[in-house]
Chain A
Amino acid sequence: MAIFALRRAGAALLVVAALSVGSFVLLELAPGDPARAVLEARSGGRPVPEAAVREQRAAMGVDAPLPARYASWVGGLVRGDLGLSYASGRPVADEIAAALPWTLLLTGAALVLACGGAIALGLTAGLTRSTALRRCIELAMFALGGLPGFVGALALLFVFSVWLGWLPSGGLGRPGADPAPGDVLRALVLPAAALAFGHHFGVYVRLVQTGVARVRDSVHVAAAEARGLPAWRVRTRHILRPGLVPFAARFGAGAAHLIAGAYTVELVFAWPGMGRLALDAARGHDLPVLVAVVMVTGGLIVLATFAGEVATARLDPRIHLGGKG
């Protein structure tokens, strides 16, 4: 296990390093000029004179060649310094620290919802003797699979906020007031649901369903029932646990999808997380912020995948982490 963790950490470092080079190069190749973007933001989008852009470039130090800028960025990173945002002039670490917890809260809530929902629906579909119920679930999941995430988010918004008026349309409670935990929870419902029940959800339900259905009629279940174990015990220990292996194996990647999906959902629901930070930074060519967002997101995805692998190994005794090869 320790060897596995170490090897994974090494791989993660490589991934993150590759990510940083990749994002630097891609952002360098992208059209647009950070200095012009800063100035245009300050003039409300009106074009700014070339001479002013030249001065701003010099002031921001973006004229240095790419390798030099990358080297100085790595130097800063080693000292724990992510640099300063081009747009706000504040430390990038502060910007990330303000946005990351909200994204984690949203993704965490969605993860719980997606996990609970998939297990519940998958178990129902996998164990039920009613063909109609199973078909119903399958059809609903199929339909969900064809729905782009933002469409689902907008549909939720219109039904529960605009039409029924039960839940706020976005943000965190009433602007200006300190959001009470209840406000945050209320504000969390729609985005978390939109994120959890996006188009990946059908796949998870299906994974649980097939996993459970495959185990349901196997010999060890029949043996357990023959030994007279109570039905709940058979279902949790002998059906659910081995039945969840395909789902768990996929869930690490699924969590990564959720993190990526969170960025769109955040925009629809005006959630003050990494998605809006990333979009603002991309619009404003705020390179230091954008690179940091990419790195943090990449790090989270590496972590989620790792967690998924560990979970799979714990559910399936045939898998040994840290084996040879």
Chain B
Amino acid sequence: MSEQRRSSRIRPWAAAAAGAAVLAAAAGCTGGASDDGAGASLTYALGDEPEQLNPVLVDEHLDPVTEMVFRGLTAHDADNRIVPSLAESWDVGDGGRTYNFTLRDDVTWHDGAEFGADDVVFTVREVRDGGLPTSHKFAGVEKVTAPDDRTVVIELAEPAPALLDSLSNGILPEHLLADKGIDDPEFGRAPVGTGPFRLERWEHREYAELRAFADYHEGPPGLDEVVVAYVPDAATRLIRLRNGEVDAASLEPRQAAQAAQAAGDDGTRLAVYPTADYRGILFNMADGMFDDPAPRRAMNHAVDREAVVTTVLHGYGAPASGPLDRSAFHTGGDGYGFDPDRVESIMADAGYRRNGDGIWTGDDGPVEFELTTFAEDGLRAAMIEVLATQLREQGFDVTAEPTPRDSVDWAEVQAFLIGWGTPYDPDGSLYGPFHSTEALGKGGSNYGSYANKKVDGALDRGRRTGGTEERRDAYADLQRELVDDPPYVWVSYLDAVNAVPADLEGPRERTLAHHGYGFFWNVHDWTRAD
């Protein structure tokens, strides 16, 4: 080991300078922004990245990329009413048991193949039989056939008005998936749809790049490119927006409040749309401690929803009075307001007295319970702190105790801040949470094991009757019953806040879904001025 080190003269200060030079060289080597000048593009920062871009694998949680790549037989307009999409028309016969769809004849897949009735038959059949998260949507389909290439006939065992809604879910290409199966992971990485944008490339944990699909059946989109950048942290999304590293971003309430102050000056504006995503306190009815509906009714008057919206949501939300506030089936009613006098009268009439600590006490002792939620969800954790304080002030001894998601044992939970709600057909977000056959013990998503015969009856009628008027009656009955015997304390609906460039034209307000998804519903109409 006698090799000579004939390096240049090393002096301590020179070596120190060399270290700094490495940094400086790296910083100085900027490499000009590579703008190919191809036309209007939009870069949007989003927190959640799906693992696969396949619409049949997600229930009620269609991310923007999947939303832009795929189209269903039907779609929703700005009022969330069903409108034609890949199907240009349909008629319903046999008392709501048979649907005849006529398909558009100008639709092509992103790979150039022609879209046809076989794709629809394939998708409906494979989803129904595939044991997928979306399979329940087509569980009632007895037969799906294609008499010719532009006609699809779906026969149901019994009427299911939610079917048209379910068919807004993306149709998948039979010619690519017939052999590999509808949940092929490779397809989930490189999906082929019929939507206005096709996936150019997806760098996992970085971004998804979408290019306008020139042959889109409603005409070429106004933007040439949409890039969805995945930035998990909400504060970082705001930084990247302000640095101009992205053009648009999905924001959480705290960042939205910060951005609202700067909006206008920094070339962005905020698009604040309502969502159907609500939060409510679920009571575990299996526990026995909540058998008496009086405290549940009283607690619905004991929470100051406006205060929750102002403090926790920074104003980006609205008080909730029930599960259908944002639905076409909402039947008003005075609902619940913050009313300490009502709390007093309801509790006193039901035979409760305040004990020495001011806590309502009945025959089974004081009303005291633990309120929990997913600790990972900062908004929910903040919300239960505020709610517990409000309830304590009205004489309910509530302790807020967030629990990590993996440690939540639904059978042991006393009360939980839960979230449901859909802007689309109400059945999907009502039947599971409130029907007694869907109780936790039966493997369903009625985690509070709520059981009310009138509610069951109303849900069954809403699910199975074909006529809109009868459904309206059914859901009106449901909403009345949920006021008399509340399974939850409904707290608030969330708003979806997106910062977009000031020169972006086209986004139209619509009641959005869970997490504010659905923002890109009319993306093919979007344009940018420059």
Enumerate chain A interface residues (CB-CB to B < 8 A).
Answer: 30-33, 39-52, 54-55, 59, 84-85, 87-90, 95, 98-99, 112-113, 116-117, 119-121, 123-124, 127-128, 157, 161-162, 165-178, 180-183, 185-186, 188-189, 192-193, 232, 235-237, 240, 267, 270, 272, 276-277, 280, 284-285, 314, 317
**A89-B133 in contact given A51-B443, A180-B31 (Cβ < 8 Å):** no
CA distance A280 to B230 in the complex (A): 13
Q: Is the interface of A mostly helix, strand, loop or mixed?
A: helix
A121 lies within 8 A of B16 (CB): yes
Known A-B contacts A59-B131, A189-B23, A189-B26; the reply to A49 vs B445 at CB < 8 A is yes
A41 contacts across to B, CB distance below 8 A:
50-51
Decide if B407 touches A117 in the complex (CB within 8 Å).
no
Provided the pairs A119-B15, A176-B227 are in contact, do residues A113 and B406 lie with their beta carbons within 8 angstroms? no
B197 interfacial by beta-carbon distance below 8 Å = no
- Give the B interface residue count (CB, 8 A): 82
Known: A59-B131, A169-B236, A176-B209. A272 touches B185 (CB 8 A): no
A229 to B236 Cα, complex, angstroms? 56
B144 at the interface (CB under 8 A from A): no
| Interface residue? B454 (CB, 8 A) | no
> Given the complex, which residues of B lie within 8 Å of A89, measured CB to CB?
51-52, 183, 185, 188
Asked if B447 is an interface residue, CB under 8 A from chain A, the answer is yes
Q: Is A49 a contact partner of B443 (Cβ separation < 8 A)? A: yes
Q: Is the CB of B51 within 8 A of A235?
A: no
User: Please, how many angstroms separate the alpha-carbon atoms of A162 and B406 in the complex?
Assistant: 35
| Binding stretch for chain A, among B242-250, B251-259, B345-353, B481-489 | B242-250
Q: Does B240 contact A (CB under 8 A)?
A: yes
- Name the contact of A161 in the complex, choosing from B17, B34, B61, B239 (C-beta under 8 A): B239
Bound CA span A189–B407, Å: 39
Which residues of B, 1-44, contact A by the 8 Å Cβ criterion?
Answer: 1, 5, 7, 9-13, 15-19, 22-23, 26-27, 29-34, 41, 43
Contacts A32-B406, A169-B243, A171-B206 known; A178 to B440 CB distance under 8 Å? no
- Given known pairs A188-B26, A232-B9, the reply for A272 and B204 (CB within 8 Å) is yes
Cβ–Cβ < 8 Å partners of B60 in chain A: 43-44, 46
A149 to chain B, nearest CB (A): 16
Asked if A123 contacts B15 (CB within 8 A), the reply is yes
- Bound Cα distance from A165 to B5, whole angstroms: 41
Q: Is the CB of B23 within 8 A of A47?
A: no
Closest CB-CB distance, A305 to chain B, in whole Å? Answer: 21
Known: A120-B15, A170-B236. A50 touches B440 (CB 8 A): yes
- In the complex the two chains form, is A171's CB within 8 Å of B231's CB? yes
Task: Indicate if the CB atoms of B12 and A128 lie closer than 8 Å.
Answer: yes
CA distance A189 to B225 in the complex (A): 29
CB <8 Å contact, A48 and B185: no
Smallest CB–CB gap between A119 and chain B, Å?
6
Does B420 belong to the interface (CB within 8 Å)?
A: yes
Is B405 in the interface zone, CB < 8 Å from A? yes
Q: Are A172 and B377 in contact (CB under 8 A)?
A: no
Q: Please give, as numbers and ranges, the residues of chain B lying within 8 Å of A42 by CB-CB distance.
A: 50, 57-59, 61, 133
22 A-B pairs (CB sep. < 8 Å) = A43-B60, A44-B515, A46-B420, A50-B444, A51-B444, A88-B185, A89-B52, A113-B19, A116-B18, A117-B19, A121-B19, A123-B10, A123-B12, A169-B243, A170-B240, A185-B26, A189-B27, A232-B9, A232-B10, A235-B11, A236-B7, A314-B1
